[in-house]
Amino acid sequence: MRKILIPTDFSENAMNALRYAVELFKYEHCDFFILHAYADEVYNHKTVVSREIFDTLKEKVHRESNMALENILAEIKSISPNPRHTFKLLSMFGSLIDEANDLVDKENIDILIMGTRGETNDRKLTFGSTTLQVLKYVKCPLLAIPSGCSYSPPKNVLFPTDYQLPFKRRELKLLSTLTQSFRSVINFLYISDFNKLSIRQEDNKHFLKESLPAAELIFHQDTTKDLTDAINQFIKSNAIDFLVMVNSRRSYLENLIYQSTIDKIGLHIKIPFLAMQNLQRY
């Protein structure tokens, strides 16, 4: 049974991510946890001037959250009445990061799926602030779905790696299941001037091959100095429809998300993007 966490702020981007999720996992038995964390809506409300008003507003937002979640459930069941899927609605007074991490631990969540932008929908940004916070602090693989991205089977996957860090078997199993279902091709992209791998790199590359036995694996090397340019060009030139990266200490992805200028770097992702949380965050 696959366990999938879907945060929602009731925006169209969040609903689009849910629609994508039920399609992506339509062949699997899944528990979907649809979460709305609403503490900020209460604390930041302009009418909060006393404890009494705060408590009244809190109850009101909770009721509205429950109703909105029920509406989402009705809509998704009308779109995808899949007997393999069950849904649990969670309206929580807390921050998204705290509530998501608690659920990940309590329910042993396999993957978190969300839109790349929320209510503000700033089209100049690749990732909204909430998505960035989840990437940084939630200890679970994250599949980010860009705004307006309609579902299509992930047939041609790009996985940039330097083979330096070990991989988690569980997360590779998740990728293996997905790619096996859709007979995907996984393109590993190694950016380096050096053709010879170290023993560590060879061992990690071998582990990838062992962990993805059913997928067609193609290994590429590029000498482009800028990894962002290499990724953007490879996506464009090879009709890539799904991007996988590892988010761990000292990784390329970590360097991106911990910079305030992430959207000035140029990694403008318009395809589904799976970030595997390879090592525990600190």
Q: What is the CATH number of the domain that holds 214?
A: 3.40.50.620
135 and 160 assigned to the same domain: no
How many Cα atoms sit within 13 Å of 214 on the Cβ side?
13
54 and 93 assigned to the same domain: yes
Calculate the CA 233 to chain-centre distance.
22
If one counts the domains in the chain, the total is 2
Check residue 262 and give its pLDDT.
Answer: 40
Calculate the CA 14 to chain-centre distance.
12
Check residue 118 and give its pLDDT.
Answer: 47
Check residue 78 and give its pLDDT.
Answer: 95
Check residue 23 and give its pLDDT.
Answer: 95
Check residue 265 and give its pLDDT.
Answer: 39
181 and 207 assigned to the same domain: yes
Check residue 255 and give its pLDDT.
Answer: 55
Structure tokens at 84: 């393999």
Check residue 171 and give its pLDDT.
Answer: 85
Per-block mean pLDDT, blocks of 10 residues, the chain (282 long): 95 95 94 95 80 89 96 95 97 95 95 77 57 84 90 93 85 89 93 89 94 92 84 91 78 52 53 77 38
Domain finish residue from 113, 145, 177: 145
Full residue range of the structural domain in which residue 186 is found: 156-244
Domain finish residue from 90, 123, 145: 145
Check residue 257 and give its pLDDT.
Answer: 52
Residue 117 inside a domain? The answer is yes
188 and 95 assigned to the same domain: no
Check residue 19 and give its pLDDT.
Answer: 96
32 and 161 assigned to the same domain: no
Check residue 267 and give its pLDDT.
Answer: 57
Backbone angles phi, psi at 55, to 5 degrees: -65, -40
38 and 167 assigned to the same domain: no
24 and 135 assigned to the same domain: yes
Check residue 132 and give its pLDDT.
Answer: 79
Residue 199 CA to residue 196 CA, distance in Å, equals: 10
Check residue 21 and give its pLDDT.
Answer: 96
Domain finish residue from 124, 145, 166: 145
